[in-house]
Structure 1
């Protein structure tokens, strides 16, 4: 892992491969490790830059609530340090919320973007209450029981029983999330705005990926825009974690999209 200072905080990242730059953002209580099986399938053709988001992995986890805008600014500052004027940006779940903030405020830095098991919708009132409960639980009991309860819900039901190694890997990654980082990020997600208008107004190439059996974000919540610049892909038989459940199919989807971006 390499490190840079962004807004006074250390952000750790991986930088692998050669070619056009591709930035991959992970989801809540994940890290750059979420992408470890996908990057080798991409890095012979693309330069893959994969950060640990603020509050996650080996990056700093400042105390207090974060905002999606702060987390997006971290990504932009990383690109500035790497002297990358334009990239393609793909975000998984929380990473997708961050991606949309970049689209809204820094569209000139993007060749294209994508939401992987993510949505432009804001949190519902019910989900906002669940975020507060999650923060309370983490503060009271620590990160381990929270991760143990959350991770199985991210996978297709059949995979929970058939592939315990995937569940265990995601848990081990989640355990490394600093408790204050999980709490700060939960509040960032809770307060994020509705960005469906940002998604529909963008003229950039867009990739929207949904899992057929995603119990966290439905296909309807992902596929909010149907227009010529948008590619919609549903990956069969996976839940919210195609980078672990079907890395080869996710990588193939990304490569097809990137080929389209480069041809424009």
Structure 2
């Protein structure tokens, strides 16, 4: 993996393929490994840059609460280090919140952007309370019980029994998340603002991908804006994890969108 220093913290990343640059951001308690089945389907035509977010994977996990803006700034510094002026940026879940912050403040660095199983809505009051409970639980009991409880809920219900290997893989990735990284990112998600106006105001091509059986973020929460620049795709029979549940379909969706970006 490549490494750069962002504000004193090491951010690790994978850089594979050739062509127009595509940056893929993973979700909470994930890592760049989430994209391992998708990148080979894209890297023949695109240069795929896939970081471990602050607090995740092999990247540093500083103590204290993080902010979504801070995590977006890490991505900017990664692009600067790689001397990339413009990219297409796609974010899964937490990665989508970071993508929206990036699009709001650094639109000139984007050819297009997208949310995959993510939303422009802020946390509800109930969700904010759940974030605090998660933080307390991780601080008291460590990351393992939290991951064991959370990961199955990310998948379509029938996949829990039919594809236990997917759940096992996601758990193994989750266990590697440093506790302070998980709690820092949980607080960042808790404090994120409503960014629906970023989607409605942008002139850039936008991709919104939802899972038909996503129990975390419903398609209604993903599809918050309907305008010509926005491509909305629902992947059938998947939950919150299409990169593991349906990597071929997700890659095909991304390629179709990237063709639109190129034509824009």
Q: TM-score range by the shorter chain?
A: over 0.9
Tell me the distance in 2 between the aligned counterparts of 1:127 and 1:155.
19
**Structure 1 residues 56-102: Cα deviation after superposition (integer angstroms, max 9, x where no partner):** 00000000000000000000000000000000000000000000000
The alignment yields a C-alpha RMSD, in angstroms, of 0.3
The structural deviation recorded for 1:190 is 0.1
List runs of 5+ in structure 2 lacking aligned partners.
none
Tell me the distance in 1 between the aligned counterparts of 2:18 and 2:198.
31
Counterparts of 1:70-109 in structure 2 under 5 Å?
Answer: 70-109=70-109
SS in 1 for 2:107: helix
Determine the structure 1 residue equivalent to 2:201.
Answer: 201
Question: Does residue 1:24 correspond to 2:19, yes or no?
Answer: no
- TM-score for the superposition, normalised by structure 2: 1.00
SS in 2 for 1:214: coil
Determine the structure 1 residue equivalent to 2:137.
Answer: 137
Determine the structure 1 residue equivalent to 2:114.
Answer: 114
List runs of 5+ in structure 1 lacking aligned partners.
none
SS in 2 for 1:184: helix
Deviating 4+ runs (over 3 angstroms): none
The structural deviation recorded for 1:199 is 1.1
SS in 1 for 2:120: coil
Report how many aligned residue pairs link the two structures: 264
Tell me the distance in 2 between the aligned counterparts of 1:199 and 1:213.
23
Determine the structure 2 residue equivalent to 1:166.
Answer: 166
Tell me the distance in 1 between the aligned counterparts of 2:100 and 2:257.
18
- TM-score for the superposition, normalised by structure 1: 1.00
Tell me the distance in 1 between the aligned counterparts of 2:93 and 2:39.
18
Determine the structure 1 residue equivalent to 2:238.
Answer: 238
Tell me the distance in 2 between the aligned counterparts of 1:199 and 1:137.
34
The structural deviation recorded for 1:198 is 1.0
